[in-house]
Structure formats: structure tokens, C-alpha cells
């Protein structure tokens, strides 16, 4: 029976974890979700910005995750060679199942995007199949993060389209994430949409559709975003 809970805040993610004294040692699952501040996001509801001048109804949020690596006391104990396409609006595609139990590791690391080695191999299958809508071309490679929303303002309607990618310096949008873990069977990775949308409103506009400085800055903000629970 669970008798305590806590949260761990890291750059890019908010991790909500519950634990108890007795804990079934089965494989660990990573669960991905998004918030608008403290509010869970669905594609059925619009969310207002701080000034109330715009409402965002998110229609698509996808993120590549790769290179999942587990460490125990600083030593690598397991590395995942798979590439995962997280679809935040699809329950079947928003979790990653690991082969290890909570006691096997105390740190988790992964990449938000596709590494350059795989990018240079061109079109692939499975999660990397271009039919998933996350591939630009042989030159630009894979879109690492895709965020799309309809925007309803005062007397007008626009769209937010962020297709963040790029793997060549200085336009590499890959971000490395490190998480300290311990006896957590279910790890909740919650990404807050507010900071990246706020940066678009203030600086970059509502469409970023190719590699470049704008995509890199937005990818860094996306990775640093922390959703705080009340």
C-alpha cells in the first residue's frame, strides 16, 4: 500500500512518483504526458495564454526519444537501441516499457531526437518510417519535435506549427536528459507547453518549419520546461 509520494524536478521534465515500503519488482515503464501549466492537456479543449488574447487547441504533439540508457552508481548497466516516437495524444504510443526493474538502476538518460548516426542512414522503418509524418528529407533528416495547434484570437484564427529538427552543427536540436531515479516502477515525464508557446509569442512567431537558430532555441526551452504541481 502506498504511503508516501514525492516529486523530482529536472530541466525539461516534471516527474511525479509514488512509492511504498512494499513494491513489486516488475519492469519499469516511462509514461509521457503534457500540461498547460498545472493543467493536463487534451486535444479536446482550448487553453488561454496569460493575457487571454489567444486560445490554443493542440491537435498534434509528437516527440522522438532515443538512446535510453540506465546507470547504477555511475556505471552503465543497460542501453536501449530502439527509437521511440511518443504521441502524447495516443495512450498506446505515450509509454516506453523497459526491461529492467527499479532496483537495477538509479539514473536514466536519453536523447530527445534522433542521433546523427541514424540520420545519415536515410529513410528507415518502424518508428522512423516517413509515413509517421516526422521526416523532412535526406538532407534535413527527422523532425525531433512536432507541436501543432489551432489558435483562436480576437476576430481571427491562425495555427501554431513547430517542427523542430536538425542534426548538423550549429542547428542540432537534440537535447540530452538525465534523471536520478530510485525504486520507481512508473516514471511520469510531464512536459509543460506554456514556456515554448510563450517564447513563440514573444520572439519567434507561430511557424518554425526548418532547422536553424529558432528551432535550436525552442528545443532548449522545451527541454528546460518544468511543470510544477501545486
Q: What is the pLDDT of residue 155?
A: 59
Domain membership of residue 54 (yes or no) is yes
Percent of the chain with pLDDT over 90: 62
| pLDDT for residue 4 is more than 50 | no
Domain membership of residue 230 (yes or no) is no
Q: What is the pLDDT of residue 154?
A: 60
Q: What is the pLDDT of residue 66?
A: 96
pLDDT in tens, 205-224: 999 999 999 999 999 999 98
Domain membership of residue 2 (yes or no) is no
Domain membership of residue 143 (yes or no) is yes
pLDDT in tens, 175-205: 998 887 767 788 888 999 999 999 999 998 9
| pLDDT for residue 229 is more than 50 | no
Q: How many domains does the chain have?
A: 1
Domain membership of residue 4 (yes or no) is no
Domain membership of residue 85 (yes or no) is yes
Q: Output 165-168 pairs: Cβ under 8 A, ≥24 positions apart.
A: 165/113, 165/136, 165/140, 165/141, 165/211, 165/215, 166/140, 166/141, 166/210, 166/211, 166/212, 166/215, 166/216, 167/113, 167/114, 167/115, 167/116, 167/119, 167/141, 167/142, 168/116, 168/211
Q: What is the pLDDT of residue 185?
A: 84
Q: Which domain holds residue 58?
A: 9-18+26-224
Which range among 16-25, 158-167, 198-207 shows the weakest confidence by mean pLDDT?
16-25
Domain membership of residue 132 (yes or no) is yes
Domain membership of residue 3 (yes or no) is no
Amino acid at each position: 500500500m502506498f504511503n508516501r509520494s514525492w516529486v523530482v524536478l529536472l530541466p525539461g521534465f516534471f516527474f511525479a512518483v509514488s512509492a511504498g515500503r512494499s513494491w513489486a519488482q516488475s519492469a519499469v515503464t516511462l509514461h509521457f504526458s503534457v500540461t498547460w501549466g498545472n493543467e493536463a492537456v487534451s486535444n479536446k479543449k482550448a487553453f488561454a495564454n496569460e493575457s487571454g488574447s489567444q486560445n490554443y487547441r493542440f491537435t498534434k504533439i509528437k516527440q522522438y526519444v532515443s538512446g535510453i540508457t540506465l546507470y547504477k552508481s555511475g556505471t552503465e548497466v543497460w542501453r536501449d537501441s530502439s527509437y521511440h516516437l511518443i504521441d502524447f495524444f495516443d495512450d498506446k504510443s505515450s509509454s516506453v516499457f523497459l526491461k529492467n526493474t527499479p532496483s537495477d538502476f538509479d539514473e536514466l538518460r536519453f536523447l530527445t531526437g534522433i542521433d546523427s548516426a541514424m540520420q545519415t542512414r536515410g529513410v528507415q522503418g518502424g518508428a522512423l518510417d516517413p509515413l509517421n509524418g516526422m521526416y523532412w528529407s535526406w538532407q534535413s533528416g527527422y523532425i525531433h519535435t512536432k507541436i501543432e495547434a489551432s489558435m483562436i484570437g480576437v476576430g481571427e484564427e491562425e495555427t501554431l506549427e513547430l517542427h523542430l529538427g536538425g542534426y548538423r552543427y550549429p542547428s542540432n536540436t537534440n537535447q540530452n536528459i538525465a534523471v536520478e531515479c530510485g525504486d520507481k516502477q512508473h516514471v511520469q515525464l510531464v512536459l509543460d507547453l506554456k514556456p515554448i508557446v510563450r517564447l513563440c509569442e514573444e520572439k519567434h512567431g507561430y511557424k518554425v518549419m526548418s532547422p536553424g537558430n529558432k528551432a535550436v532555441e525552442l528545443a532548449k526551452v522545451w527541454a528546460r520546461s518544468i511543470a510544477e504541481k501545486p
